[in-house]
Amino acid sequence: MIKMDYGDAEHRKKLEETFVALLDDADERQKTWGKLRKRLYNLKNEFKMLLPTQLKKLMILPYTKLAEIYDTYATLRLAEKDDLHLALKELFSYTKEKGGRFNALSDSIIDFFKNKNNGFDIHTCHYCDMTYINYFQYEEVTKSGKRRGIRTQFDLDHVLDKGRCPLVALSLYNLVPTCPTCNGPHIKGKRVMDVNLNQRQKLSPTSNLYDFDNQVKIWLRPKIERITNMDFLKHMDDYELDFDTLSDADYDKEIDFFYLKERYNYHKCEALRLAELKVKYTSSKIIEMARIICNTGKGEQNEPIPFANMIIEQIRRDIFGLEFSNEHHRSFHKLRKDILDFNDGE
Ligand SMILES: [Zn+2]
């Protein structure tokens, strides 16, 4: 739902440099990569085109390429205990394999996402935008003295399951900060979307093709034919929140996969409250309020009113809270934006 923001080209370059530097034991890993890569070439010729010779390059491949690697690897249908599969798991050690030769990189990768200089938006889950995620500094006194650290309260999800394809376990553009619910066993867990390659390459917040924000619109669908009053909250059962994907139906796959419609409807009061505010405070009402504040009568409406526009804007901001939710990354921001869309007829 929320596209990952890696900043401008210069920032992205710096991010990638910092990210590949997290790889420890790099020479040894590169040597192993050389051997395993050749075994993959023997199984499938396409790998010669897909897999970079440098392991570090694989860590910063664009998501569209990772999706291609993932799909090609899946066609090998290697068993879980397959030799090559296990050797790849050992090399791409996000978490440490039993008796594995290489250190796990999960801690340093999570720290990378938490580092303020890297500029990641860790506020709400990138999949659902319902749940807040965070990290915080803590200090505790133990017998051996004071201990300080940073607690993590979010998951770093591998969009493409690293268990099925270890090749994508250490890739920057396969990682998304999410809430434990979206990443939990009942939703994402180890599931991967059932999609074709084109859809897969698009349907990830890390993909440069991802455009959920413009291709999907959240709206309130009346469930009865004639709506007789605008007391939305008093008639909650007459409405349903819906995700409109007319412009690109592929996004239905993502909406279904994360149960967004079901989960959002549980909180539909958020949308109904905004719809009610929108009906109550029309543009003309707000202009009228601004006039009262500026102490100018209706007859003077054609004359320039000092500060009037500023006050109109201020009232709108205060009532609807859209700018606040944008600037401070509050949850349900897309819902708020879509329901309050002021271009839809008002
Ligand atoms: Zn979530």
Digit-coded pLDDT (tens) for 116-134: 999 999 999 999 999 999 9
Q: How far is the CA of 181 from the centre of ligand 1 (A)?
A: 6
| 87 lies in some domain | yes
Residues 175 and 243 in one domain: no
Phi-psi region of 69 (alpha: psi -120 to 50; beta: other; left: phi over 0): alpha
- Residue 304 clears pLDDT 60, i.e. is over it: no
Contact at 8 Å (CB) between 187 and 260?
no
How many CA atoms within 13 Å lie on the side-chain side of 239? Answer: 27
Residues 37 and 107 in one domain: yes
C-alpha distance from residue 114 to each of 67, 121, 123, 140, 147 (Å): 25, 9, 11, 20, 19
Residues 265, 240: Cα–Cα separation, whole Å: 7
- Residue 194 clears pLDDT 70, i.e. is over it: yes
Question: 62-71, 101-110, 219-228: which has the minimum mean pLDDT?
Answer: 219-228
Q: How far is the CA of 128 from the centre of ligand 1 (A)?
A: 4
Residue ending a domain, among 226, 243, 267, is 267
Neighbours of ion ligand 1 (CB under 5 A): 125, 127-128, 131, 179, 182
Q: What percent of the chain clears pLDDT 70, i.e. is strictly above it?
A: 95
CA gyration radius, the chain: 25
Residues 68 and 144 in one domain: yes
Mean pLDDT for 25-47 is: 97
Q: How far is the CA of 325 from the centre of ligand 1 (A)?
A: 17
- Residue 346 clears pLDDT 60, i.e. is over it: no
Mean pLDDT for 75-99 is: 93
Q: Is 145 helix (H, G, I), strand (E, B) or coil?
A: strand
Q: How far is the CA of 78 from the centre of ligand 1 (A)?
A: 31
- Residue 42 clears pLDDT 50, i.e. is over it: yes
Q: Which of 182-196, 197-211, 273-287 has the highest mean pLDDT?
A: 197-211
Q: How far is the CA of 339 from the centre of ligand 1 (A)?
A: 20
Q: Which long-range contacts (CB under 8 A, 24 or more apart) does 308-314 make?
A: 312/286, 312/287
Q: Band the pLDDT of 345: cuts 50, 70, 90.
A: very low
Residues 216 and 295 in one domain: no
Contacts of 326 (CB under 8 A, 6+ apart): 333, 337
φ, ψ at 287 (rounded to 5°) = -65, -40
Mean pLDDT for 126-153 is: 91
Q: How far is the CA of 126 from the centre of ligand 1 (A)?
A: 6
Containing structural domain, residue 29? 9-202
φ, ψ at 343 (rounded to 5°) = -95, 0
Q: What is the pLDDT of residue 215?
A: 96
Q: Band the pLDDT of 299: cuts 50, 70, 90.
A: low
Q: How far is the CA of 265 from the centre of ligand 1 (A)?
A: 15
Residues 82 and 24 in one domain: yes
Contact at 8 Å (CB) between 114 and 150?
yes
* Residue 177 DSSP one-character state: E
Q: Band the pLDDT of 159: cuts 50, 70, 90.
A: very high
Nearest to 123 by CA among 339, 286, 325, 344: 325
